Amino acid sequence: MITLYNQYSVSNNYVGSDWNYEKTTKYIFKIDCEYIEAGYFIHYLKDTTDMREKKQVIELPSSYGCMMKCGFCASSQISHIRSLTAEEIYDIFLYIYNHNHLQNKTNILVSMMGIGDLYFTINNVEKVLKKINNKNKNIIFSISSCCWTQTMLKKVEILNTVIQFRTIQITYITHHLQKIQNIIQYYKIITYNADSIIQMIYHSTIPYFKINYILIEGINDSDEDFLTFITKFKDVKDKITVRISKINPTRASIKNGLTGSSIDRMEEFEKLLSRAGYKTYLFYSCNDDNMNCGQLVTEKLIQ
């Protein structure tokens, strides 16, 4: 049985695409000895005289811990790993939806970008998204994975005819196999090939994808890295938007010696992509409140 253990709220400025200010609430649910974290965000476009609400976001987990074991993600430190059931994910959604009285809202996004990767949990995620969509036709959805396969993509292509996706995201670190295997442990088990991802994008019936390029100092922020990405993805540049993201500090990132590239370097990459005809934008939090991408407010509870 899912029970609410605690919740934490903050506000923070961001650099992003269509919003720059977020009111964040992290909900901590307890299932037996597991602390499951989910998020509720209100995004605003803020300037000196006005603050306009853009959307309400419910961010859901799909597992406790994650087998992908990304070296910068707080969830990689969780030793006990299991996929959440479709019922557990839906119960978390329902609690946040009702608690924030979203029944009369029209700008709601449900994001499956919490703990867990679609590679392992797509079957349960598919059930949850269909159930939410059947009862809430005004909701749109976002999904992401570090490891897309043709089978996964076919499932999403079928889903895309039934529900409305705002974002279908592909995580990108580097084309260098040894580097990526050192950062994402699961890539030592499966075959990773950036070229196959490009071919999937090229042939997919889905019109647009987002590439989440996580910029890491000394790993994928050299001139050669930038040029290689621009060259490799040129045949699909009209089907992608490149989000240049900065990693946030976690116990895992510190342990593994991974730090985000400088803002100046992010901006340089953005300019190179724009000149090459790519749609691109920067994404990062202006302050470290421990509630950003890859972070867990429950990190001190993790054994």
DSSP string, 173-241: --S-HHHHHHHBGGGGTS---HHHHHHHHHH-S---EEEEEEEBTTTS-SHHHHHHHHHHTGGGGGGEE
Return all residues near 218 (Cβ < 8 A) that are at least 6 apart. Answer: none
Our measurement of the distance from residue 151's CA atom to the centroid of its chain's CA atoms, rounded to an integer in Å, reads 20
Boundaries of domain holding 49? 3-301
Could you tell me which of 63, 101, 102 has the C-alpha nearest to residue 80? 63
56: CATH: 3.20.20.70
Residue-wise pLDDT for 175-212, tens only, equals: 999 999 999 989 989 877 889 999 999 999 999 999 99
Predicted model pTM: 0.95
Task: Name the most confidently modeled range: 48-57, 156-165, 192-201.
Answer: 156-165
Question: What total of structural domains would you count in the chain?
Answer: 1
For CA atoms 76, 23, 263, 283, give the dihedral sign.
positive
What one-letter code names the amino acid at 65?
G
Extract the runs of DSSP E, i.e. beta strands, from 3-92. 3-15, 21-31, 34-46, 51-59, 63-64, 82-83
Q: How does residue 299 score in pLDDT terms, banded at 50, 70 and 90?
A: confident
Residue-wise pLDDT for 215-257, tens only, equals: 999 999 999 999 999 999 999 999 999 999 999 999 999 999 9
Could you tell me which residue, 292 or 221, shows the higher pLDDT? 221
- Token output for 47: 């300037």
